Chain A
Amino acid sequence: MESTRARRADLFDPASLAALGRIEIVARWIVDGFMSGLHRSPRKGFSVEFAEYRPYQAGDDLRYIDWKIAARSDRWVIRQYEEETNLRASIVLDVSRSMVWTGTSLPSFARVPGAAERLTKLAYAERLAAALALLMLRQRDAVGLVRFDDRIRSAIPPRMRHGQWRRIISALEEQGSGRASSAPAALDQAARLINRRGLIVLVSDLLMDMPDVERALRGLRAVGHDVTVLHIMDPAERELPASGEALFVDPETELAVPASIADVRAAYKNTVDEVIGEWRSMLGGLGVGYEVVSTDEPFGVPLRRAFAARQLLP
Chain B
Amino acid sequence: MSFLAPLYLLLGGAVAVPLLIHLLRRRIGVRLEFPAARYLLRAEREHSRTLRIRNLLLMLLRVVALLAIAVAAARPIARWLGAGHAPTALAIVIDNSLSSSAVVNGRPLLDQFKTMARAALSSATPADRLWLVTIDGHVRGGSPALLRDEIARLEPIDGAGDPMAALSRAATAVRGAGLEARQIALVTDGQATEWQRTPAMADAQLLIYAPSVRPPVNHAVTFAEARPTRWTPRGSVAARFLSLDSTTYRMTISGRTFGRGTAAPNEEVVVRAAPPERGWVPGTVEIEPDELAGDNVRYFALWIGPAPGVNSSPGAGPFVKSAIDVLRSSERVVDGRDIGVVAADEVSSLPALITPPVDPVRLGAANRALERAGVPWRFGARRSGETSVRGTGFEGVTVTVRYDLVAQAGAAAETLAVVGWGPCCRSVSSASPAR
Taking a contact as CB atoms under 8 Å apart, the answer to whether B33 and A251 are in contact is yes
Query: How far, in whole Å, are A50 and B339 apart by their CA atoms in the complex?
Result: 152
* Known A-B contacts A98-B35, A101-B33, A267-B47; A248 and B25 likewise in contact (beta carbons under 8 Å): no
B60 to chain A, nearest CB (A): 15
- A97-112: CB near B (< 8 Å → 1, else 0) gives 1110100011100000
Inter-chain contacts of B46 with A (CB < 8 A) = 267, 271
Q: Is B44 at the interface (CB under 8 A from chain A)?
A: yes
B43 lies within 8 A of chain A by Cβ: yes
Q: Is B217 in the interface zone, CB < 8 Å from A?
A: no
Cβ of A105 and Cβ of B37 under 8 Å apart?
no
Known: A245-B25, A264-B47, A267-B50. A259 touches B33 (CB 8 A): no
**Inter-subunit contact A263/B51 (CB<8 Å):** yes
User: Pick the contact of B40 from A106, A245, A264 — CB < 8 Å?
Assistant: A264
Contacts of A207 in B (CB 8 A): 35-36, 38
CA distance A255 to B27 in the complex (A): 16
Cα-based distance from A225 to B50 in the complex (angstroms): 44
Tell yes or no: B26 within 8 A of A by CB: yes
Partner of B39, one of A247, A249, A253, A271: A271
For chain A, the bracket of interface size reads 20 to 34
Query: Count of B residues near A, CB < 8 Å?
Result: 26
Q: Given A257-B40, A257-B41, is A267 in contact with B32 using a C-beta cutoff of 8 Å?
A: no
Contact with B along A223-255 (1 / 0, CB 8 A): 000000000000001000000111111111101
Known pairs A244-B30, A245-B30, A267-B44; A252 contacts B35 (CB<8 A):
yes
Name the CB-closest residue of A to B45: A271
CB nearest neighbor in A for B40: A257
* Chain A facing B: main interface SS: mixed
In the complex, which residues of chain A have a beta carbon less than 8 angstroms from the beta carbon of B272? none
The distance in angstroms between the C-alpha atoms of A268 and B41, with both chains bound, is 9
Q: Would A259 and B35 count as touching, CB distance under 8 A?
A: no
Query: Contacts A267-B44, A271-B43, A271-B46 hold; do A245 and B28 have CB atoms under 8 A apart?
Result: yes
Distance of A44 Cα from B44 Cα, bound (Å): 55
Q: Does A270 contact B (CB under 8 A)?
A: yes
**B44 contacts across to A, CB distance below 8 A:** 257, 259, 264, 267
The answer to whether A260 and B25 have CB atoms under 8 Å apart is yes
CB of B153 within 8 Å of the partner chain: no
**Which residues in chain B, 11-40, are within 8 Å of chain A measured between CB atoms?**
25-40
Given A267-B43, A268-B40 in contact, is the A247-B28 Cβ separation under 8 Å? yes
| Contact between chains at A258 and B37 (CB < 8 Å) | no
Q: Does A205 contact B (CB under 8 A)?
A: yes
Contact B43 A247 (CB under 8 A): no
Q: Is the CB of A250 within 8 A of B43?
A: no
Taking a contact as CB atoms under 8 Å apart, the answer to whether B33 and A105 are in contact is yes
Decide: B28 and A264 in contact? CB cutoff 8 A. Answer: no
Residues of B within 8 A of A107 (CB): 30, 32
* B42 at the binding interface (Cβ < 8 Å): yes
Name the A residues within 8 Å of B254 (CB-CB): none
Give the residues in chain A near B42, CB-CB below 8 Å: 271, 275
B29: nearest chain-A partner, CB-CB: A247
- In the complex, whether B79 has a CB less than 8 A from a CB of chain A is no
Q: Give A4 to B55 CA distance when docked, in angstroms.
A: 53
With contact pairs A264-B44, A264-B51, A271-B46 given, residues A237 and B36 touching in the complex (Cβ less than 8 Å): yes
Q: Does chain B have a CB within 8 A of A272?
A: yes
B278 within 8 A of A: no
Query: Is A249's CB under 8 angstroms from B26's CB?
Result: no
Distance to closest chain B CB from A268 (angstroms): 4
Decide: A246 and B36 in contact? CB cutoff 8 A. Answer: no
Given known A-B contacts A255-B41, A275-B39, A248 and B34 have beta carbons under 8 A apart:
yes
A247 touches B31 (CB 8 A): yes
Interface centre among B25, B32, B41, B50 (most CB of A within 10 A): B32
Q: How far is the CB of A20 from chain B (nearest CB, A)?
A: 27
B54 interfacial contact with A, CB 8 Å: yes
Chain B residues numbered 180-236 whose CB sits less than 8 Å from any CB in chain A = none
Q: Is A256 part of the binding interface, using a Cβ–Cβ cutoff of 8 Å?
A: yes
Interface residues as binary, A260-303 with B (CB distance below 8 Å gives 1, 0 otherwise): 10011001101110010000000000000000000000000000
Q: List 11 A-B contacts (CB under 8 A).
A: A101-B35, A244-B30, A245-B30, A249-B34, A249-B37, A251-B33, A253-B38, A260-B25, A267-B47, A267-B51, A275-B42
